[in-house]
């Protein structure tokens, strides 16, 4: 296993499958009377959150605690960060306190890359700016595989603000690795100009792609996009790119509807869709804990020293800790 999880693009197929398989084992743990393992006892996991994100922070906190790690929550508000301390100085402070892993949520793309250069422990990206949110993509893939039984060849349609979405980026790279076929649907203003180089098809016609979709993933629309003239009005956006009951009826019977949350009901997703049996939205939250347990476990359980990149092996929990997440170092070291 590589030291860090910063980008879903850094995960090999073996890495990704190992995380999903490990998460599957942890998911069964939740059904036990005492859903807790001693695996990371004595290890310290710091949640370093520069953006408000109750959902993701609690998910990581629960994951670390179920593995018996000590958890320190470091919120930018009310800390020395609010007094202007730099990310580097915060990193050095955490380093001095002996953090084994730092889970970082930050409003600037690339902040986890920078952090990884300043701390010796593992860095887990919990969402950086408009770059990536790899554990979200992993829990999405986990949810798809649980519901639909496979990922290879799965047809996944991602709808919304692709340009600014870290969830979309991580999903595009991870689903490519896992063999799914991704279609992006958005107004042209909310797609990167270089999207034609991505391993994904692009459509501006939401309804036309629905009959051929196994999964529809709706992204949150930020209201501030409207003032930047990305689209004329929320109503027009909702009409063209929102998922309502009529559109949902175009889906094949087995298809599922996903949303990373928090939702704007009535904007990108209608209430009856969000609450329908196709919706996996609550399930995604549950699965998030199992997947984050798997990530922390695989990053930290190998040894106290930063793990050397090792030959990837398959199998149960024990050897999984030594798997290498390939390519991350080369990327981050450029």
Partner 1 sequence: MTAAGGAGTGRPGARRDQGRWLIRGARPLGGRPADIMIDGGRIVAVTESGRDRRDQGPGGRDDGNIRDQDPDGQVTVLEAGHLIALPGLVDLHTHLREPGREDAETVASGTAAAALGGYTAVHAMANTDPVADTAGVVEQVWRLGRQAGHCDVRPVGAVTAGLAGSQLAELGAMADSAARVRVFSDDGRCVSDATLMRRALEYVKAFDGVVAQHAQEPRLTAGAQLNEGVMSARLGLTGWPAVAEEAIIARDCLLAAHVGSAMHICHVSTAGSVEIIRWAKAKGWRVTAEVTPHHLLLTDELAAGYDPVFKVNPPLRTAADVAALRAGLADGTIDCVATDHAPHPAESKETEWAQASFGMTGLETALRVVHEAMVNTGLLDWSGVADRMSVRPAAIGRIGALAGGPDAISHGCPIAPGSPANLVLYDPEPITTVDPAAQASRSHNTPFAGMKLPGQVIATFLRGTPTVLDGRLTG
CB of 211 to partner 1, least distance (A): 29
Length of the chain: 334
Specify the residue, 127 or 321, whose C-beta has the smaller distance to partner 1: 127
Encoding tokens for residue 23?
């998460």
Task: Starting at the earlier edge strand, list the strands of the sheet with 155-159.
Answer: 201-203, 181-185, 155-159, 215-218, 256-258
Residue 80 binds partner 1, judged by CB under 8 A: no
CB of 76 to partner 1, least distance (A): 12
Q: How would you class 246 by CB atoms within 10 Å of its CB: exposed for 0-12, middle for 13-18, buried for 19 or more?
A: exposed
Residue 126 binds partner 1, judged by CB under 8 A: no
Catalytic residue selected from 113, 133, 169, 259: 133
Q: Which stretch binds partner 1 (CB under 8 A): 56-64, 124-132, 137-145, 269-277?
A: 124-132
CB of 111 to partner 1, least distance (A): 5
Specify the residue, 18 or 138, whose C-beta has the smaller distance to partner 1: 138
- Single out the residue of 10, 14, 61, 128 in contact with partner 1 (rule: CB under 8 A): 128
Residue 105 binds partner 1, judged by CB under 8 A: no
- Single out the residue of 14, 15, 51, 132 in contact with partner 1 (rule: CB under 8 A): 132
Residue 166 binds partner 1, judged by CB under 8 A: yes
Residue 84 binds partner 1, judged by CB under 8 A: no
Q: Which stretch binds partner 1 (CB under 8 A): 13-21, 145-153, 189-197, 299-307?
A: 189-197
Residue 88 binds partner 1, judged by CB under 8 A: yes
Helix, strand, or coil here: 251? coil
Near partner 1 in 25-54, by CB under 8 A: none
Please confirm, yes or no, whether 93 is among the known catalytic residues. no
Q: Within 13 Å of residue 40, how many CA atoms lie on the same side as its CB?
A: 27
User: Distances from the Cα of 178 to the Cαs of 34, 218, 227, 325, in angstroms?
Assistant: 33, 20, 37, 15
Intra-chain end-to-end CA distance of the chain, in Å: 20
Q: How would you class 9 by CB atoms within 10 Å of its CB: exposed for 0-12, middle for 13-18, buried for 19 or more?
A: middle
- Single out the residue of 169, 225, 259, 323 in contact with partner 1 (rule: CB under 8 A): 169
Residue 14: Cβ within 10 Å count: 18
**DSSP secondary structure letters along 65-132:** HHTT-EEEEEESTTSGGGGT--HHHHHHHHHHTT-SEEEEEESSTTHHHHHHTT-SSEEEEEEETTTB
What is the binding site for partner 1 (CB under 8 A)?
Answer: 9, 86-88, 106, 108-111, 113-114, 128-132, 164, 166, 169, 192-195, 197-198, 331-334
Which residues have a catalytic role annotated? 55-56, 83, 105, 133
């Amino acid at each position: 296993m590589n030291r860090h999880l910063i980008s879903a693009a850094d995960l090999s197929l073996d890495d990704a499958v190992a995380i999903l398989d490990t998460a599957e084992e942890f998911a069964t743990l939740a059904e036990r009377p005492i859903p807790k393992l001693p695996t990371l006892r004595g290890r310290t996991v710091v949640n370093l959150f520069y953006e408000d994100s109750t959902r993701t922070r609690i998910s990581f906190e629960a994951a670390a605690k179920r593995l018996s790690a000590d958890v320190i929550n470091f919120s930018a508000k009310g800390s020395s960060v609010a007094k202007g301390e730099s990310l580097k100085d915060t990193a050095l402070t955490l380093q001095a306190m002996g953090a084994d892993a730092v889970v970082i949520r930050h409003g600037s793309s690339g902040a986890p890359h920078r952090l990884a250069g300043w701390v010796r422990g593992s860095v887990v990206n919990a969402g950086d700016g408009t770059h990536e949110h790899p554990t979200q993509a992993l829990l999405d893939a986990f949810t798809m595989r649980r519901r639909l039984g496979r990922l290879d060849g799965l047809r996944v349609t991602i709808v919304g603000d692709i340009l600014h979405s870290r969830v979309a980026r991580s999903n595009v790279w991870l689903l490519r690795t896992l063999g799914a076929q991704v279609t992006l649907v958005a107004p042209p203003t909310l797609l990167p100009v270089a999207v034609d180089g991505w391993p994904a098809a692009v459509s501006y016609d939401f309804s036309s792609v629905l009959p051929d979709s196994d999964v529809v993933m709706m992204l949150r629309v930020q209201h501030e996009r409207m003032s930047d003239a990305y689209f004329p009005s929320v109503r027009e956006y909702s009409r063209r790119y929102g998922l309502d009951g009529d559109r949902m009826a175009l889906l094949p019977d087995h298809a599922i509807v996903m949303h990373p949350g928090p939702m704007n009901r009535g904007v990108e997703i209608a209430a009856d869709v969000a609450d329908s049996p196709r919706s996996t939205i609550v399930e995604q939250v549950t699965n998030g804990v199992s997947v984050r347990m798997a990530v922390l476990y695989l990053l930290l359980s190998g040894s106290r020293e930063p793990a050397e990149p090792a030959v990837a092996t398959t199998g149960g929990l024990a050897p999984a800790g030594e798997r290498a997440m390939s390519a991350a170092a080369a990327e981050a070291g450029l």
